[in-house]
Structures are given as structure tokens and as C-alpha cells.
């Protein structure tokens, strides 16, 4: 027997959705019909994305009593619209375009997109993406620009090495860093016209002087005025970019000041240094109420593999997907740096790398770092305590370890008979 259900679908009474382009946007607004209870009224308008036009749009939304405004993350065009409406007091939601899928066969226009988005929003079928507060956004801009500057500088350094190789100058074979004090002195002398390998090698400093004979061989080439001109330009660009990086670092320190104590706490984690701590705060903020658990943070950052299950059977995991590229890059450096330390994270990285390879080790240790970060940011009183490099050894059953080693020896062709030694008398 069918019975009446008291369940009802809660909707947002007054909602607007924006389909944003570079020059214009389409706004769909849905509000209750005052003359027909239970029915909805809809208004679709087109506006320019200039500041005054957005101000008029905000005034119209106020007039209609709109409480929530939803928009897709379209390139960077959403940012000025989002920031202006956010400052005007609206509950602004940025949603992932992947979550806003059209029905198959339905035509696609800006107007239809805006109406479809508005209908999904009023029925609360969307979830907002993470948009950090203003103070974090102001920190995010210089930290991201710093990454771009470092990438540009690295590309220029690669060009220098290729130019030296073209001139048969094999300095990078002998010196681990050709842009150190010794390497820069040698390149400056080459630009100035010095070509004698022995004279150039004598410019070496510190431990590099132990390799004077190798340096003479490496500096014997066919470097000419053509190479000198290009090398001077390349080194000039590297120095100019370094100046810009230093200026950006100073600006980052200004914006990180309110979070300096938090950044110092994050630097307790192996692999996280001064630059990484600031970049992490810029990407995830310091308020973890947006991420209810550490698993939510890992999922948002795409550091959790997707699980596929069908008919009650798990069909393995797939790739983590594309998350925040700046955060992923930072966590990758953190994992690699931690892998060189004698700590719990370092041992975890090495164990996974041996079994699954370096890429999976980076993702696994990056996720571990995110879990630690979440706990530190969620609890201001929490401090990081390293579990130690022997953490895994103390938790593996001795019998299991013995069986593992025996199987390894047997796989190498050995006949193994193991007996437990008697305890020695005190």
C-alpha cells in the first residue's frame, strides 16, 4: 500500500547563476512567484563584465532579494565577478564545471547554460569549490608568481648549460653547480676574453680546487665571441630574475606576517622549508573548517587515488586526477626532500619507492604530509612529533620478517634452514 511521504525537496528560494565570459556574462535569476504560490519566476539578462555593469547587476540582485549567486570556474574570468559580489555581501559559490553537466542532446548556449546552472543551484545539487579569503588570496598571488619566476630562471640556466656544451666547455661535468661562486667567476672570465684553461681553472674556490686537472680538461674548448655575447645576455637575465625573486620574497614576508607563527609550526615537518610553508598556506589557507577531515583535504588536493567498485567488487584504483598544480608541485618537492632525511616520512618514501616506484612514493608521502598539515592547522596547540626511522621495524612481526627474508634467499637459489638461537646467559 502506497503511503504519502512527508519528504520534500528543499530549494533555495532566491538564487542567481552566472555564465561568465571575457566580455559579457549571462545571469539567470529564479525567485518565488508572489501571485502563484509554489511557482517560480525566472529572469535571464546579459551584462558586460565592466565594473560599473557588475555594480548594476549587484543592485538588481539586491532588488530581487537574491541570497546565493553561483558561477562556474571559467578560466580566470570568474575572479573579478566573484570578488565584487562577495564584497557586496552575497553568498557566492564557485562550482566545478565538471559537476555541471548538460543533459545529452540539449543545445548549448550561454542562456541555456545559465538557466541549467540556476536550476541545479536552487535544488541544492551543487557544492561550492574552495575559494580562500582575501588575506590568503593576497599571499597566493606572489607565491604563485615566485614559482613562475623560478621556472623561468631554471629554463635560462638550462640554456646556459646548452650554450657551454655547444662551445665544448664541459664545466657541468666537473662542477655540481656551475652557477656557484667558482662557476660564475669562470663564466665571467670567459665573457671577458680569457681562454687559457689553466688560468680559468685557478678561479675555482673551496672543494672545487681538488679538481684542477679535471677543470683544465673541461675548460678546453672552442668558446668564441659568439658564445660570449649570448652567455652575457643569459647571465644578465638570470641575475635580473633573481632580483625579482628577492623582491617577491620580501612581499611574501609582508603578507605572511599574520600567519608567521603557523608557518613556523609547519616547518617542523620534514621536507617543509621556509618557501614550502608559505606556498602551502597560500594554497590551502589556515582555516581547516572548510575541510571536515584530513581525507577531505587530501581528496581536494587530488592526493587520494580514486577507487572503482562495481557489483560489490573493487577493481583497483585509478590515477589521482588533476588538482591544484601549485600545491601538487610543492608537495612533490616536500616528499622528495623528506625522502632524503632519516625520519618517518623519509623511511616511508624509501619503502614505497622500492616496491612501487618514485611517483607513487611521492603521492603517498605527499598525502601523509597533508594529513599532518591538517592536524597542525586544525589544532593550534598541536606539535609535530616524528615517529622515527625505525617506526615500521618495531611494528612488523619478527616471524613475518623472517619468512620474508627466507623467501628472498630461496628466490636467489639458496636452500635455507632457519633455527632460532638460544638466548645467551647473562
Is 184 inside a domain boundary? yes
**What does the longest C-alpha to C-alpha distance in the chain come to?**
100
292 and 371 share one domain = yes
Burial of 18 (0-12, 13-18, 19+ CB in 10 A): buried
Phi-psi region of 140 (alpha: psi -120 to 50; beta: other; left: phi over 0): alpha
298 and 395 share one domain = no
Rounded Cα distance, 92 and 88, in Å: 10
Domain that holds residue 401: 390-419
User: Taking the complete model, does pTM exceed 0.85, yes or no?
Assistant: no
pLDDT at 119: 84
**For the chain, how many residues are written?**
426
Is 223 inside a domain boundary? yes
CA 426 remoteness from chain centre:
56
Rounded Cα distance, 330 and 80, in Å: 27
Q: What secondary structure, in 3-state letters, does the chain show?
A: CCCCCCCCCCCCCCEEEEEECCCEEEEEEEEECCCCCCCEEEEEEEEECCHHHHHHHHHHHHHHCCCEEEEECCCCCHHHHHHHHHHCCCEEEEECHHHCCCCCCCCCCHHHHHHHHHHHHHCCCCCCCCCCCHHHHHHHHHHHHHHHHHHHHHHHHHHHHHHHHHCCCCHHHHCCCCCCHHHHHHHHHHHHCCCCHHHHHCCCCHHHHHHHHHHHHHCCCCCCHHHHHHHHHHHHHHHHHHHHHHHHHHHHHHHHHHHHHHHHHHCCCCCCCHHHHHHHHHHHCCCHHHCCCHHHHHHHCCCCCEEEEECCEEEEEECCCCCCHHHHHHHHHHHHHHCCCCCHHHHHHHHHHHHHCHHHHHHHHHHHHHHHHHHHHHCCCCCCCCCCCCCCHHHCCHHHHHHHHHHHHHHCCCCCCCCCCCCCCC
Is 71 inside a domain boundary? yes
Is 8 inside a domain boundary? no
Intra-chain end-to-end CA distance of the chain, in Å: 81
Is 128 inside a domain boundary? no
The contacts of residue 422 (CB under 8 Å, 6+ apart) are: none
pLDDT at 16: 92
Q: Where is the domain boundary, 65, 94, 122?
A: 122
79 and 189 share one domain = no
**Total domains in the fold of the chain:** 4
CA 346 remoteness from chain centre:
20
pLDDT at 158: 95
Burial of 404 (0-12, 13-18, 19+ CB in 10 A): exposed
pLDDT at 102: 62
Torsion of CA 103, 296, 137, 89, to 10 degrees: 60
Rounded Cα distance, 219 and 182, in Å: 13
pLDDT of the chain, 426 residues: tens digit per residue: 555 444 445 788 889 999 988 889 999 999 888 888 878 888 899 999 898 999 999 999 999 899 899 998 878 888 999 999 999 889 999 987 777 776 565 677 878 888 888 888 888 888 888 888 899 999 999 999 999 999 999 999 999 999 999 999 999 999 889 999 999 999 999 999 989 999 999 999 988 889 998 999 999 989 999 999 999 999 999 999 999 999 999 999 999 999 999 999 999 999 999 999 999 999 999 999 889 999 989 988 888 766 666 656 665 555 666 778 899 999 999 999 999 999 999 999 999 998 889 999 999 999 999 999 999 999 988 889 988 888 877 777 777 778 888 888 888 888 888 777 766 655
224: nearest Cα among 135, 164, 300 = 164
- Tally Cβ neighbours within 10 Å of residue 106: 9
Q: Where is the domain boundary, 228, 257, 286?
A: 257
Is 127 inside a domain boundary? no
92 and 150 share one domain = no
105 and 30 share one domain = yes
Q: What CATH code is carried by the domain that includes residue 38?
A: 3.30.420.10
228 and 337 share one domain = no
Rounded Cα distance, 324 and 152, in Å: 20
Is 105 inside a domain boundary? yes
94 and 175 share one domain = no
246 and 337 share one domain = no
> Rounded to 5 degrees, what are φ and ψ at 105?
85, -10
279 and 334 share one domain = yes
67 and 160 share one domain = no
68 and 36 share one domain = yes
279 and 172 share one domain = no
Is 157 inside a domain boundary? yes
Amino acid at each position: 500500500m502506497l503511503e504519502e511521504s512527508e519528504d520534500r525537496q528543499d530549494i533555495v528560494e532566491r538564487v542567481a547563476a552566472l555564465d561568465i565570459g571575457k566580455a559579457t556574462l549571462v545571469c539567470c535569476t529564479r525567485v518565488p512567484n508572489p501571485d502563484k504560490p509554489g511557482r517560480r519566476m525566472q529572469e535571464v539578462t546579459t551584462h558586460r563584465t565592466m565594473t560599473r555593469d557588475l555594480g548594476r547587476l549587484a543592485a538588481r540582485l539586491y532588488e530581487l532579494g537574491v541570497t546565493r549567486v553561483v558561477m562556474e570556474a571559467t578560466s580566470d574570468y570568474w575572479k573579478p565577478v566573484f570578488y565584487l559580489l562577495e564584497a557586496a555581501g552575497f553568498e557566492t559559490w564557485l562550482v566545478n564545471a565538471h559537476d555541471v553537466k548538460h543533459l545529452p542532446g540539449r543545445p548549448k548556449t550561454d542562456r541555456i547554460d545559465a538557466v541549467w546552472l540556476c536550476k541545479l543551484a536552487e535544488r541544492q545539487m551543487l557544492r561550492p569549490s574552495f575559494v580562500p579569503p582575501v588575506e590568503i588570496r593576497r599571499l597566493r598571488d606572489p607565491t604563485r608568481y615566485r614559482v613562475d619566476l623560478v621556472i623561468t630562471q631554471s629554463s635560462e640556466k638550462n640554456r646556459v648549460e646548452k650554450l657551454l656544451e655547444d662551445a665544448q666547455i664541459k664545466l657541468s661535468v666537473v662542477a655540481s653547480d656551475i652557477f656557484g661562486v667558482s662557476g660564475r667567476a669562470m663564466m665571467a672570465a670567459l665573457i671577458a676574453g680569457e681562454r687559457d684553461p689553466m688560468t680559468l681553472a685557478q678561479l675555482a674556490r673551496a672543494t672545487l680546487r681538488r679538481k684542477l686537472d679535471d677543470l683544465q680538461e673541461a675548460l678546453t674548448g672552442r668558446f668564441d665571441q659568439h658564445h660570449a655575447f649570448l652567455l652575457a645576455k643569459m647571465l644578465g637575465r638570470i641575475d635580473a630574475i633573481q632580483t625579482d625573486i628577492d623582491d617577491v620574497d620580501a612581499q611574501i614576508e609582508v603578507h605572511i606576517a599574520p600567519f608567521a607563527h603557523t608557518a613556523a609550526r609547519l616547518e617542523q615537518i620534514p621536507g617543509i622549508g621556509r618557501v614550502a610553508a608559505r606556498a602551502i598556506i597560500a594554497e590551502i589557507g589556515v582555516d581547516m573548517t572548510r575541510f571536515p577531515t584530513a581525507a577531505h583535504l587530501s581528496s581536494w588536493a587530488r592526493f587520494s587515488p580514486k577507487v572503482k567498485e562495481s557489483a560489490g567488487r573493487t577493481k583497483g584504483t585509478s590515477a589521482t586526477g588533476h588538482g591544484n598544480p601549485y600545491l601538487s608541485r610543492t608537495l612533490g618537492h616536500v616528499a622528495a626532500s623528506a625522502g632524503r632525511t632519516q625520519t618517518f616520512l623519509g623511511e616511508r618514501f624509501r619503502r614505497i619507492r622500492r616496491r612501487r616506484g618514485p611517483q607513487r612514493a611521492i603521492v603517498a608521502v605527499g598525502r601523509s604530509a597533508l594529513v599532518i598539515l591538517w592536524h597542525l592547522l586544525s589544532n593550534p596547540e598541536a606539535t609535530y612529533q616524528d615517529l622515527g626511522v625505525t617506526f615500521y621495524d618495531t611494528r612488523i612481526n619478527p616471524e613475518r620478517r623472517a619468512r620474508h627474508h627466507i623467501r628472498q634467499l630461496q628466490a636467489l637459489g639458496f636452500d635455507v634452514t632457519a633455527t632460532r638461537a638460544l638466548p645467551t646467559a647473562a
